[in-house]
Amino acid sequence: MTEENNDPYYAVIFTSIISEETEGYAEMADKMVEIAREVDGFMGIDSAREEQGITISYWKNMEAISKWKNDSQHLMAQKLGKEKWYKHYSVRIAKVLKEYEFNKM
């Protein structure tokens, strides 16, 4: 089955390489997802990590993304991330134009 959805929404694509210093990282990452879930306009999140971590969160509008980005606990996490956890990260904000999915029946 292939389903299509063409309503526009937004994706925040976060790719990262973490440093050797990982103390507190997993807890903070979980906490940031909790915070995201509380923001009106949050739609969902996909996440996987091998060498590189990829987290994609989905949002109804840019206002919701802005609210999440500027949450006080998230700002603190961003600061700690730069100081301690991340060697590298990229943030891409993208508008989803088209989507389709396949589910094995």
Among 19, 22, 70, 73, binds a copy of itself (CB under 8 A): 19
Contact yes or no for 105/38 (Cβ under 8 A):
no
Among 43, 54, 60, 69, the residue binding a copy of itself under the rule CB under 8 A is 54
Residue list 86-105, contact with a copy of itself (CB under 8 A)? 86-104
- The three state secondary structure string of 28-66 is HHHHHHHHHHHCCCEEEEEEEECCCEEEEEEECCHHHHH
User: For residues 3 and 34, which CB has a smaller minimum distance to a copy of itself in the complex?
Assistant: 3
Residues 37 and 34: their CA atoms lie apart, in Å, by 5
8 CA to centre of own chain: 18
In the bound state with a copy of itself, the residue whose beta carbon lies nearer, of 18 and 39, is 18
Q: At 69, is the secondary structure helix, strand, or coil?
A: helix
Task: Please identify which residue in 22, 52, 61, 70 interacts with a copy of itself, judged by CB under 8 A.
Answer: 52
Residues in contact with a copy of itself, total (CB under 8 A)? 34
Q: Mask: binding to a copy of itself, 60-89, rule CB under 8 A, as x and -? A: ----------------------x---xxxx
